[in-house]
A and B are shown apart, each in its own frame.
Chain A
Amino acid sequence: GIQVEQSPPDLILQEGANSTLRCNFSDSVNNLQWFHQNPWGQLINLFYIPSGTKQNGRLSATTVATERYSLLYISSSQTTDSGVYFCAVFLSGGYNKLIFGAGTRLAVHP
């Protein structure tokens, strides 16, 4: 089956720093979502991004589907950005379940 790999697995930042999280996938996908899981377990939608670049405040994402990767950029990080970031893909071929990576665990210190 399709493999979704996220890097780095863990990331520690000082408040105000910038970071880039990467998601590689091994097969063609219909679409891709980025989530932030807060300490209470809630998955918060960040981006729904089949291709191209989107921005939302301090966060932006770029997906290059032909090269099978997506990037999530966090600028001027804040302590509230801490948590786990997941990318998840929709398989091509009519299937609509999400296949998740193992996540990047981010800790932002003041």
Chain B
Amino acid sequence: DTGVSQDPRHKITKRGQNVTFRCDPISEHNRLYWYRQTLGQGPEFLTYFQNEAQLEKSRLLSNRFSAERPKGSFSTLEIQRTEQGDSAMYLCASSLVGSSYNEQFFGPGTRLTVL
């Protein structure tokens, strides 16, 4: 049983460039979440999908951010025209929803540095 995987693990980019991250959830999980964590803080919710439907977006998710989960399996998070303030750890999590049990499991994260 493989856990949540994320790619790449590290990304260094220059301000103004576009970046895309990928998340592969645990195979039978139908919910997928994206969080962002800045230094010294706890993770903050960005968005989540149930199957392929994006059900909620945080106001932290500006119009430069877009997330997709086209076939209800893996997801991508794209940031356009990156800014230095986008530097953070981007975490993906997944869960199986269908009962009252909804434990979330996290991937290793993608650490983004914008120069």
Write the residues of chain A forming the contact surface with B, with a CB cutoff of 8 angstroms: 4, 30-31, 33, 35, 40-43, 45, 48, 86, 88, 90, 95-103
Contacts and interface: CB of A to CB of B under 8 A. Distances in A.
Contacts of B97: 96
Contact of B109 (A41, A45, A95, A102): A41
B36 to A, nearest CB: 11
A102 B42 contact: yes
B33 interface: yes
B29 interface: no
How would you classify the secondary structure of chain B's contact residues: helix, strand, loop or mixed? Answer: strand
Q: State which size class the interface on B falls in.
A: 20 to 34
Interface of B: 31, 33, 35, 37, 40-45, 48, 56, 89, 91, 93, 95, 97, 101-106, 108-109, 111
Given A41-B89, A43-B91, A103-B42, A98 B108 contact: no
A42 B109 contact: yes
A86 B93 CA distance: 15
A101 B102 contact: no
Contact of A98 (B40, B56, B89, B104): B104
Contacts of B106: 35, 42-43, 45
Contacts of B89: 41
How would you classify the secondary structure of chain A's contact residues: helix, strand, loop or mixed? Answer: strand
Given A45-B103, A48-B103, A100 B44 contact: yes
Contacts of A40: 108
Contacts of A43: 43, 91, 106
A31 B101 CA distance: 9
13 contacts: A30-B102, A33-B104, A43-B106, A45-B105, A86-B43, A88-B43, A97-B33, A97-B48, A97-B56, A98-B45, A98-B93, A102-B42, A103-B41
Given A33-B104, A42-B109, A98-B104, 17 more contacts: A33-B103, A41-B89, A41-B108, A43-B106, A45-B103, A48-B101, A88-B43, A96-B102, A97-B48, A98-B33, A98-B45, A98-B93, A99-B45, A100-B42, A100-B43, A102-B42, A103-B42
